[in-house]
Amino acid sequence: MTTPPDPARRTTSMRTHMCGDLRAGDVGATVSVCGWVARRREHGEHLAFVDLRDHSGVVQCVVDNSVDVRSEWVLRITGTVRPRPEGTANEALPTGSVEIGDCSVEVLNVAEPPPFPVDARADDVDEAIRLRHRYIDIRRERMQRNLRVRATVNSAIRSEMERNGFVEVETPFLVPSTPEGAREFLVPSRKERGSFYALPQSPQLWKQLLMVAGVDRYYQIARCLRDEDLRADRQYEFMQLDAEMSFVDQDDVLDNIGRAVMAAARAVTGEEPPAIERMTWREAMESYGVDKPDLRFGMRLVELTDLFVATEFKAFAGAASIKAIRVAATDHAEAAASGRNKLDALTDRAKKLGAKGLVWIRVGEAGGIDSPVAKFLSAVEVEGLLSRTGAVAGDLVLVVADDWATVCGVLGQLRNDIGRPPVHEGPYRYVWVTEFPLFVGVDAVSGKPRPGHHPFCHPHPDDLALMDSDPLSVRALAYDLVLNGWELGSGSIRIHEPAIQRRVFNLLGISDDEADHRFGFFLQPFRYGAPPHGGFAFGIDRLTAILAGEENIREVIAFPKTQSGADPMTNAPTPVDGGVLDELGIRLLPPPAQS
């Protein structure tokens, strides 16, 4: 755990203590506390209890009943700390054994009634209302805790990175537009009409230039922006630990980043986190069907292709890949014992994910099977299927036959649909996924391969001979860090040889002239002696959300956007005055006609 703040250093001219700091050892002391009225309760004819709240907690104050204070009024209360009367201690509160008596009350500000309760009941309030009044929402204990967890994560990361010899360097926020795999936010230039800056998707190019410049070990807690659809683990703007190292191989990067992540987890939880596991991308796809595997539950994909190589069942005959998952009745009774309607729903889900169909097989008491395809399977095939999957009475087996990528993708998603717990539940399971493909698929228009990560990943040395003949088989020295099925971040060993960088650009359809035009500022320095280097970046929002026990990163960001990208508090995005657009040389197109 991080060192708690020194109470003596939190005093000001208006307060001697924070509300949540008072304990039995303070009995007899005269104190002043400041905060918001969490609750007022009358106690007999002459007295009232005021629960005063600041970010550190709540303390009970006994005031004269004539004092008129209401919910969320801002007060300064001065009085004497004393034990609560026998039988009235509140063990649920850290301050529950004491109260402040003989109080004088100073009203620092009055408040209108808040739009929702400033306590746990606000969890049930519509999120748009909470975000519209985020300054009220943040007063709640949950949000205060989350923001402090985030600060603890940042502090632990900085300490660990500096302990390992990294230096913090800020990189530009107005940058040229570059292809990094995501849509950019563009900023028009007033001075150069028709030209634009981009807001950084990441500091990728700049941190590599810092390695050319001899910085050796760089890090930054960087704000990045990507114009992508929002979801539970994605916002337009996000914070990431960004790092780069010189004269390293993949293991050096993974070790250093792993230490920073473990330091953050240790600081928040106070416990030693489990070791980070490791698997290749191919192993992840074969066993879990996704490149960000959740290791907290079983239901791994089972290979069946060779079992059905001579099958007479047409749906399986000739299929490039056949795999299955076992839904154990003991672990997921509802799914395993699904009625026909739910099984049909699973089939529909598989088809929507791209499969031609889904075969379900329910295992009976005597080892028999209940399935629409039972009559098409031989006894040997049934026996082999049950043996390989480990299915027993009451279990459900789901089988997909198709091309390898479709089989893995469909079963991987069904596995998550059926068995995956909330991201913050259960044990933390960290895993490095390595050896991603350098290219993923072919662009339908250009016919050129698409980069799997970004154009600056170094090809695996063992696969360089395949670059021209079979580029889709080339592995990259690229790696992701995954926690409980969420991708925390990714990185790679970079290309430091200009010839290999141009070769990759050419495969992507970027000519030497175009590369010089778009990346000249980046490529030219590499002619002056670039060291071997590699790096990584992981999302601080995502790591913090899991460590804070949240399912959505919006709960650990002070002022997030909604899933639609709007800010209910400021109403952003908003139209801009026409004069401003004229100054920038921008003319808006009319909205597209409604069909």
Last residue of a domain, one of 420, 450, 472: 420
The pLDDT of residue 438 is: 95
Domain boundary among 87, 109, 131: 109
Q: Which of 125, 138, 128, 123 is nearest to 562 (CA)?
A: 128
For 29-67, the pLDDT digits (tens) are 999 999 999 999 998 888 999 999 999 999 999 999 999
227/367 same-domain check: no
Same domain, 325 and 367: yes
Instruction: Give 70's pLDDT tier (boundaries 50, 70, 90).
Output: very high
Q: What is the pLDDT of residue 594?
A: 73
How many angstroms separate the CA atoms of 297 and 412, rounded?
12
81, pLDDT greater than 80: yes
Whether 429 is covered by a domain: the verdict is no
pLDDT at 317 over 60: yes
- According to DSSP, residue 307 is labeled G
pLDDT digits (tens, 9 = 90+) for 408-442: 999 999 999 999 999 998 899 999 999 999 999 88
- State whether 133 and 105 are in the same domain: no
Whether residue 181 has pLDDT greater than 70: no
Q: Following DSSP, what letter does each residue of 390-428 receive, concatenated?
A: T--TT-EEEEEEE-HHHHHHHHHHHHHHHHPPPTTSS--
Q: Would you place residue 385 in the very low, low, confident or very high pLDDT band (cuts 50, 70, 90)? A: very high
Quick check: is 521 in a domain? no
Please check whether residue 428 lies inside any domain of the structure.
Answer: no
pTM more than 0.75: yes
Q: What is the CATH number of the domain that holds 74?
A: 2.40.50.140
The amino acid at residue 484 is: N
- C-alpha to C-alpha distance for 199 and 196, rounded to whole angstroms: 10
Please indicate, yes or no, whether residues 271 and 338 belong to a single structural domain of this protein.
no
As a whole-number percent, the residues of the chain with pLDDT over 70 amount to: 97
What is the predicted pLDDT for the residue at 331? 67
- 542-565: per-residue pLDDT in tens? 999 999 999 999 999 999 999 899
Tell me the C-alpha distance between 77 and 160, whole Å.
41
Residue 348 has pLDDT above 60, yes or no: yes
How far, in Å, CA of 246 to CA of 259, rounded?
18
Count of domains observed in the chain = 3
| CATH number for the domain that contains residue 560 | 3.30.930.10
Q: Are residues 251 and 200 in the same domain?
A: yes
In terms of domains, do 240 and 138 share one?
yes
8 pLDDT tier (thresholds 50, 70, 90):
confident
Residue 385 lies in a domain: yes
* Rounded (5°) CA angle 58-64-68: 80
pLDDT band at 248 (very low <50, low <70, confident <90, very high): very high
Domain that holds residue 552: 122-276+531-569
- Domain finish residue from 377, 402, 420: 420
Least confident of 67-81, 90-104, 439-453, 567-581: 439-453
Q: Are residues 185 and 267 in the same domain?
A: yes
**Same domain for 308 and 394?**
yes
Range among 198-202, 374-378, 478-482 with highest mean pLDDT value: 478-482
